[in-house]
Amino acid sequence: MRKKLSQTELKQLKKEFPQLKQIAKGLIEVEPQLFVSPFEHWLSIEECHAIYDQSKNPERRQYNENLLQLIFEYSDGQLYTWRFKRRERVYFYRITSLAHLIKLCDVRNKSWESGCRFHIISPALKVIYEEHWDWTNIFNLFEGADKDIIEKLVKEAGLYVTEVTDDC
């Protein structure tokens, strides 16, 4: 169940993430970013096609679910998301429980070619965590974000931090 934010919560969220509406609409890209994947390296097109038939692998889904659970616990349940309504109006919502977070992210139905279905705002970590393509998810880091803590959570979940190279 989505719960709309109070004016006080919305003001606090906008204070911590000043350009949140522009980010939600895709008008601004946040730098730096941290890329997370169940694979140790960026997949080539051939590798993506080779694992496509194995995309029902529950182990990869479990890693992502573990990470969501760790983020929820670290943030003491203070997580938010957004959705669009009528004419691209952005509405922000509080995630009410771990079950709500898991259902929202729909990790159990994820495949390598699905993506960009969820965005999770964590004021405790000072990040926006978003699903992306080819099993890669992205942490958009904001001022005050502790990269070491995020990397620790990622490794604890069984995932890898993937560095950006010229090949990708």
Do 90 and 24 touch, CB atoms closer than 8 A?
Answer: yes
* pLDDT (average), residues 125-150: 87
Do 157 and 70 touch, CB atoms closer than 8 A?
Answer: yes
Six token digits for residue 96: 């009410």
The predicted structure's pLDDT at residue 46: 78
Residue with more model confidence, 11 or 55? 11
The predicted structure's pLDDT at residue 125: 93
* pLDDT (average), residues 5-19: 88
For 26-64, the pLDDT digits (tens) are: 888 888 888 898 888 777 777 777 776 555 566 777 888
In this model, does residue 73 exceed pLDDT 90?
yes
Do 24 and 120 touch, CB atoms closer than 8 A?
Answer: no
Q: Phi, psi at residue 28, to the nearest 5°?
A: -130, 135
Q: Phi, psi at residue 109, to the nearest 5°?
A: -110, 15
Going by C-alpha positions, the residue among 143, 109, 135, 104 that lies closest to residue 120 is 104
> Does an H or E element contain 84, and which?
strand 79-85
